[in-house]
Amino acid sequence: MSKETDDFCAVADYEELDAEDAAIRQRRIETYSVEALRVGVKVDQITILHTAFKDGLAALDRVFQIAPQVRMPHGIRLVGPTGSGKAELARYFRESLPRSTLFDQGFGCLRVRISTTPSAGHVVASLLRRYRYPFMRRSERLAHWQQDVAFDLVRAKGTRLIIFEKAHRLVDAERGGRYSRDSNPGTAAGVIDDLVDEVRVGIVLTGQESLGRLAETEPELASRLPTCCDLSDYAANTQWSGIVRGFVKQCTWFDLGAIATDAQVKLLHLACRGNLRALKRLLTEVALVAAQAGARVADLGHLREAFERLNGKSATARNPYA
C-alpha cells in the first residue's frame, strides 16, 4: 500500500471517529441532567390515595391485623387490569408498615410473584428466596420437606401477610389445561391452600381480570379469600379529575398547574385512557422534559414532547397535544 493510500485511510478513519464523537456528544446533551432526574423521580414517587386505593389499603390492614389471631382463614383477591395500581398498593402497604416486635423487620409482609407456569415447586422456591434461605434445587422427592421448611420460616419470622402477585396465572394455567388438580395434587394453588390452613397468615392474590374467575377453577382457594377488591381504569369523571388534581397538589417542587384545567384533565384521560400507571409515567416524563429545558412550570409543549418520547414518533396512538 502506498503512502498516499495510507494517508487517505488515516484521514477517513479520523473523520469517522470525529463524526461518531459528535453523535455521542449530541446524545449526551439530550440525556437528562442530574437535576432533571431529581425532579422527575420525585414525581414518580407520588402516591395518590384515591377511593379504590383507600378501600384496598383498609382491606389489607384488616387482614394483616386479624389473620394471625383467628382460626378462620382470611384473604383478599385484588383484581384489576395492568397499570391500575395493584403493585403500587402492595408496595405502599409493605413500606408503610411500622416497626414491631411481632415480626422480624422486613418480613411482616412478603410479596411473591406467581410464575408464568405455576407449580408447587415454584411457589415454595419463591417463598424460600424471599426468606433468603440457602439455595436448594427443586426436587419432587424433597418437595414436602421443602414446603415444611418454607412454612416454618413463615412462622419463625412472624410473617402476617403474603401477597402473591400475577395470581391470574393460577386461573389461566388451569383453564389452559397446563395442569389438573386431580392428576397432579402438587399445584401452586394447592400450596397456597396448605399455607392458609396450616399457618395463620393472611393471603392476598393480585392479578388481572381473569383472577375474578378463581372460584371456577380453584373453589377451595377462593372460599378462603372471601374479600374481593377491584382496581379499574377510570372513566373521564370526577374521580379522574380528583386524581389528576391530587398529583398537582402533591407536586410542590414543580408546577403541574397547567394540567389541572377541565380541558387538560380531559386530554390527559385521552392520552392515558384512564390508566394510573400511564398517567404517572406521562407526568414524570413531563417533569423531566421541562426540567431539562430549565423550566419549573409545565406547558403544552412539554406535554406534547413527553407524549412523543414515551410513545415514539411512529406510534399508532394520536398525540392529543399535537
**What is the pLDDT confidence band of residue 4, given thresholds at 50, 70 and 90?**
very low
**What is the pLDDT confidence band of residue 137, given thresholds at 50, 70 and 90?**
low
For the chain, domain boundaries: 34-47+236-322, 67-230
How far, in whole angstroms, is CA 232 from its chain's centroid? 14
Would you tell me how many other CB atoms lie within 10 Å of the CB of residue 241?
17
pLDDT at position 290 is 95
Range 67-230 classified under CATH 3.40.640.10 = no
Would you tell me how many other CB atoms lie within 10 Å of the CB of residue 75?
24
* C-alpha separations of 229 from 70, 85, 206, 250 in Å: 22, 12, 9, 26
Is the whole-model pTM more than 0.75? yes
Distance CA 146, CA 177 (A): 26
What is the average pLDDT value for the chain, to the nearest integer?
A: 85
Residue 314 per-residue DSSP state: T
**What is the pLDDT confidence band of residue 25, given thresholds at 50, 70 and 90?**
low
Distance CA 299, CA 297 (A): 7
